[in-house]
Amino acid sequence: MSDFAGGVRRRVRESRERLGAALASGDEYAVQAYAADLEEMVRLAREHGVPLDREPAAGAGSGEQPKAEVALQAEPVLRPPAGEA
């Protein structure tokens, strides 16, 4: 595996882990940031022909869509910090 492909796979894995942690903590801003990073890394991998393994997601086989995939499909919701409406 090339250094580039390995680096892309590592970044995808790290982004998935960070997105999962953000989802678990309920941090909406971090969810949006890590979802965007993950989307960018997946795009980069596709453009350069780097195959990515799909990790089994929580809830796999239960008929439920994993939270991370829902977050990636959702429209970004940017809210001003509390008190700045």
Which position has the token pair 């965007």? 36
**Confidence (pLDDT) at 53:** 77
CA distances from residue 27 to 49, 63, 67, 79 in whole angstroms, order as listed: 32, 25, 13, 12
* Position 12 pLDDT exceeds 60: yes
pLDDT tens-digit series, residues 16-66: 999 999 999 999 999 999 999 999 999 999 999 998 877 544 434 444 444
Report if pTM > 0.75: no
Containing 23, the helix (H) or strand (E) segment is helix 3-25
- pLDDT for 69: 53
Contact yes or no for 27/67 (Cβ under 8 A): no
Q: Where are the domains of the chain?
A: 3-73
